[in-house]
Structures are given as C-alpha cells and as structure tokens.
Amino acid sequence: MRPNINAEANRDKHNGLGELSECLAELATAMEAGQWEKLPPLIDRLERAKQLLSALPPGTAETSRIADEMRQALQKISELQTQAKIRQQQIQPLLQSWQGATKDGPTTP
C-alpha cells in the first residue's frame, strides 16, 4: 500500500506549526524576561521549523488563503529570528562578562 503523500505532508505541516507555535511562545517569554542565554537553542528550533514548513509541497495547503498565511508566517519568523540573533549578539559579550564576574565576585550584573 502506497503511503498517502498528502497525509504525510499534513502531518509534517501540523508538526511544524506546533513546533513553531511553541518555540515562538518560548522566544517571546525569554526575550521579555531578558533570558538571553536561552536564545541560541530557540533560534535553532525556529530555523528547523521554518525549514520544515518551507519544504512542504505547494499542493498541501487547503486553500490559497492558508498558503498566503503560511508565507506571511514564514516571513514573520524570519524577522523574529533576525531580531533574536541581533539581540543575542548584542547581549552575549555582556552575559559572558557577567558570568565571568560571578565566578570571581559579586553576582550583580
């Protein structure tokens, strides 16, 4: 029996959207809380979810409206991912400096 390609694509889409939703929520929480050390793995997860959704065949979208929404979501993901990378690059030297200082002295950043 041949596997149903549409069923597999829909499963991939569902998994990708679920991962994306979860990751975006975690990213927003980390950025709002200033938990900059959490950004690198979240950025990687965003990239994997984005790749999964981008790799889906065009025929898997039920309507053109859904396809348009997915394209817009992928664009927003790219923007958020870029913002998170910039923020990570800005904060990383400060975080490393603070982590080094906590080993040697006070814990106030």
Give the count of beta carbons closer than 10 Å to the beta carbon of residue 68.
11
| pLDDT band per the 50, 70, 90 thresholds, residue 2 | very low
| Cα dihedral 69, 48, 54, 80 sign | positive
pLDDT digits (tens, 9 = 90+) for 67-106: 677 777 778 777 887 888 888 888 888 888 888 877 766 5
User: What is this structure's pTM?
Assistant: 0.49
| Beta-carbon contacts of residue 94 (< 8 Å; ≥ 6 apart) | 109
Rg (CA), the chain: 18
DSSP state at residue 61: S
Return d(Cα 77, Cα 8) in angstroms, integer.
23
Domain ranges, ordered by start, for the chain: 5-104
